[in-house]
Amino acid sequence: MGSTPSKQRKAYLERAPSLPPADLTFSNRDSSPYAALDLGLDASIDSTSHAVEKPYLDRRMSLMDLNMDVLVIILSFLTTRGLRRLALTSRACHGMTLVDMLDTVVLRSSQQAHGFCLFMLKDPSHRIPLLHSLTIRLNPTALSSILTGPESDLGTLLTDLLFQSENLTSLSIDNIDWVLMTYPTVSHAITSRSSHLRGLSMTYPGSHTLLMLQQMKGLRITSISFPSTDTGIAPFLLPFSSTLQTLHIHHHHQFSFEWYDYQWPVLHTLTISSPCHHLKSQLFSNFPNLRRLHIEGDMRGIGIDDLIRVQNLSYPICWAELEVVKGLMTRICTLGLTCRVKRMEMDSDAPGALSHTGSEHDAFIECLQRTSPEVLKFGLYASHRAPMLFMKLAKATPSLKFLHVSFFDAGTCRKTLDCLNKIIDLFSSLTYLSLHVYNQQGSEVDVTMVDAALIKIYPPVLARAMPLLSHLEVQVGEKQSYWKIFRENGKVKVKRLDAYRGGMARKAAMEV
């Protein structure tokens, strides 16, 4: 068993680590490429090197008296900039924050990668064990400058770092085939860590990547983005047929899972991001024990394809039950699922919302009748068809407990309010109801009117109409409110919650 983060931090502080060079920069938390973390700190730092008085320094150091488990929680909320500012207050604080900084690292250029490797290899026994997740993003267009410039030894440094990273469990490499072709020794370093590596994420894999993966074992999580069209996807996954549990596939083009001779029996989570449809028979044949399915992709040219839906429905075999199905409404409805789905999360953004057409409504209701979810999330454009849709929805989902609906309306949102008036007593089994109202594209919502109606009028009305309802969530534009419903001695009371408690209640309600 590995040591806990708090124990690692205690052990690291006791060793009084040396400080990193002043020119080292890399980033680990902030998504912005400009938010680079500067670990530079003068090695001669002491209480006199700062323009502060000693009593004030002593008060700052009282932070060190906190329980280490509490510090772990506090540091997890700090951004890279916050960690950097804390690190610059004193030598002890620098050592403390360094543990958190080195846990997850993102290198966005060859300069950052080169400086980071030099820093880690300067004190490998103390620093490298702290590294658990590493992302490397190198630009192939800068090949000539990388091979001939100051970073010409980057391949050797990366190889040395990876060979010694015994605690590294997650590795992500952009343009991986180019990296392996440019630095062949990196491939050997990665394979040497395969027994400890649980997750590998890669973009643009090709023949060099395939040769490396064939030497690896035990991978449980992998993400493949834009693989070579010559090799397809299956060859990259075959070495891990008995261990792979989570798979993410991102692809520009149409592709299919025509791998009927192969199975990944322990894979339980599959994410597909591609502009093509997939047949249920293919997915079931390759992933018989799937529990979570997420289907994304480009919306252009995608609608409710009756032909594909009929093909899927004609294949009777399906999973016994799926815990979560997420993604585009059109993809989910076309997939022709015939098993129970506990949680159905259809994209509720405007591009993925239900339109006014009757064919989409029919396919949507048909899908829910076959899957009978307990948690349902979707969006629709408000229209005169909406009340009838909800009447069919209530009949199709008798066990529904959590319902999230995003209405897209215009002006005073009269269509949305009319719809709510007509369906207010339909869902007797609901325990959590979430209503969001947004403006349609090219129109504006009269926030004042609809906000007043949903916040002042509807909470008590909904509470009385739905006997099991315990929580209500309302959002109009960017304004959001949460409500808890109390029932005692035949009386119903509605109390407003703060955003934190409301968010926690929503999270708990979704975990049916």
What's the rounded Cα separation, in Å, for the pair 215 and 225?
20
Lowest mean pLDDT among 253-257, 405-409, 412-416: 253-257
What 3-state class would DSSP assign to 450? helix
pTM confidence score: 0.78
Confidence grade of residue 119 (pLDDT, cut at 50, 70, 90) = confident
Lowest mean pLDDT among 205-209, 216-220, 267-271, 272-276: 272-276
**CA-CA distance, 269 to 266, in Å (whole number)?**
9
- Mean pLDDT lowest for which of 28-32, 117-121, 229-233, 234-238? 28-32
Amino acid 240: pLDDT: 93
- Judge whether 248 and 224 are in contact, CB under 8 Å: yes
pLDDT of 112 = 84
**The two structure tokens encoding residue 149:** 């410039």
Report d(CA 322, CA 250) in Å as an integer: 22
Polymer length of the chain: 512
Across the range 209-216, mean pLDDT stands at 94
Q: Distance between CA atoms of 361 and 368, rounded to whole angstroms?
A: 11
For the ranges 45-59, 398-412, 418-432, the lowest mean pLDDT is seen at 45-59
- Report percent pLDDT > 70 for the chain: 69
Q: Mean pLDDT score of the chain, rounded to an integer?
A: 78
Cβ of 95: how many Cβ atoms within 10 Å?
20
Mind spelling out the 3-state secondary structure of 420-462? HHHHCCCCCCCCEEEEEEEECCCCCECHHHHHHHHHHHHHHHH
**Alpha carbon distance, N-terminus to C-terminus of the chain:** 32
pLDDT at 409: 82
Q: What is the pLDDT of residue 145?
A: 59
For residues 136 and 410, the model is more confident at 136
pLDDT higher than threshold 50 for residue 136: yes
Beta bridge partners of 39: none
Q: For 359-372, what is the mean pLDDT?
A: 90
What pLDDT score does 45 carry?
A: 30
- Three-state SS for 224-257 is EECCCCCCCCHHHHHHHCCCCCEEEEECCCCCCC
How far from chain centre, in Å, is Cα 61?
36
Asked which of 72-81, 193-202, 337-346 is least confident by mean pLDDT, the reply is 72-81
Q: Which residue has the higher pLDDT, 310 or 324?
A: 324
Does 428 or 268 have the greater pLDDT score?
Answer: 268
**What is the average pLDDT across 286-310?**
75
The β-bridge partners of 38 are: 25
272 burial class (0-12, 13-18, 19+ CB within 10 angstroms)?
Answer: buried
Among the residue ranges 121-130, 186-195, 364-373, the one predicted with the least confidence is 121-130
